[in-house]
Amino acid sequence: MTQKKNLHDEIVKVAYTLFENSGRLYGYDFENWLEAEKIVMEMHAKEMASKAKKPLKTKTKKAK
């Protein structure tokens, strides 16, 4: 539940930033929300992709 809440909070912040950057134009809340979702999801997808590319560091035992 916490992860969902954090994602929602991120979308809220981005949507509000879009609203502010548009000169506080009212009537575009739905469009701002959809754009914010897109931005946040793309950001998380890029983070996940970069984490997937990093090799895992594992300790290996040396053969005797």
Kindly report, residue by residue over 49-64, the tens digit of the pLDDT.
Answer: 988 887 666 666 666 6
Asked if the structure places residue 20 within a domain, the reply is: yes
Asked if the structure places residue 58 within a domain, the reply is: no
Asked if the structure places residue 64 within a domain, the reply is: no
Show the domain range for 42. Answer: 2-53
> CB–CB of 12/35 below 8 Å?
no
Query: Which of 3-7, 10-14, 33-37, 38-42 comes out lowest in average pLDDT?
Result: 3-7
Asked if the structure places residue 12 within a domain, the reply is: yes
Structural domain count of the chain: 1
In the chain, DSSP finds a helix count (H) and a strand count (E) of 2, 0
Q: Is the pTM here over 0.75, yes or no?
A: no
pLDDT of residue 36: 98
Report the C-alpha gap between 48 and 46 in whole angstroms.
Answer: 5
Nearest to 4 by CA among 47, 42, 53, 44: 44
Asked if the structure places residue 45 within a domain, the reply is: yes
